[in-house]
Structure 1
Amino acid sequence: MLNKVYFSALLFLSLTLNAQTSPCKAAHIGKFQVDSGESGITVIERNKKTQTEINEKMGYKARYDIVWIDDCHYELRNRTVIKGKSWEGSSPTDILKAEILKVVNGKVFLRLGSNFSDEVMECEMIKIKS
Structure 2
Amino acid sequence: MNIKLISLIMLSLYSFCFAKENNCKDFKKGTFELNSVDGSTHIITRTKNKQIERVGRTGSIFEFDIKWRDDCSYILYNRKMIKGVDEFSEYKIDTLYNKVIGVDGKNFKVLTTIKEFDFEVEAVMKKVK
Question: Partner letter of residue 113 of structure 2?
Answer: G
Trace 1:1-130 onto structure 2 (pairs within 5 A): 22-86=22-86, 87-91=88-92, 94-129=94-129
In structure 2, the residue corresponding to 1:22 is in which secondary structure? helix
Deviation at 1:122, TM superposition (A): 0.9
2:121 and 2:68 mapped to 1: Cα distance? 19
Tell me how far 1:39 sits from its aligned partner.
Answer: 4.9
Using a 3 Å threshold, how does the CA distance of structure 1 residues 112 and 83 change in structure 2: closer, same or farther? same
Provide the aligned length of Structure 1 versus Structure 2. Answer: 113
Change (3 A) 1:56 1:120: closer
Q: Alignment identity in percent?
A: 29
How much has 1:85 moved relative to structure 2?
2.0
Instruction: List, as ranges, runs of 4+ consecutive aligned residues in structure 1 with deviation greater than 6 Å.
Output: none
Pair member with larger Rg: 1
* TM-score, length-scaled by structure 2: 0.78
After TM superposition, give the deviation of residue 121 of structure 1 in Å.
Answer: 1.3
Q: CA deviation at 1:84?
A: 1.3
Counterpart secondary structure, 1:23: helix
Deviation at 1:37, TM superposition (A): 4.2
Checking the alignment, whether the CA contact within 8 Å between 1:26 and 1:103 is kept in structure 2 is no
Per-residue CA shift, 1:13-61, capped at 9, x if unaligned?
9xx98x8762210111000011114251100000110000002321210
Aligned-residue Cα RMSD (Å) equals 2.1
User: TM-score if structure 1 supplies the norm length?
Assistant: 0.77
Q: Provide structure 1 residue ranges, at least 5 long, that are not aligned to the other structure.
A: 1-12
Q: Is contact 1:23–1:102 with CA below 8 Å preserved after alignment? A: no
Question: Structure 2 unaligned runs (5+)?
Answer: 1-10
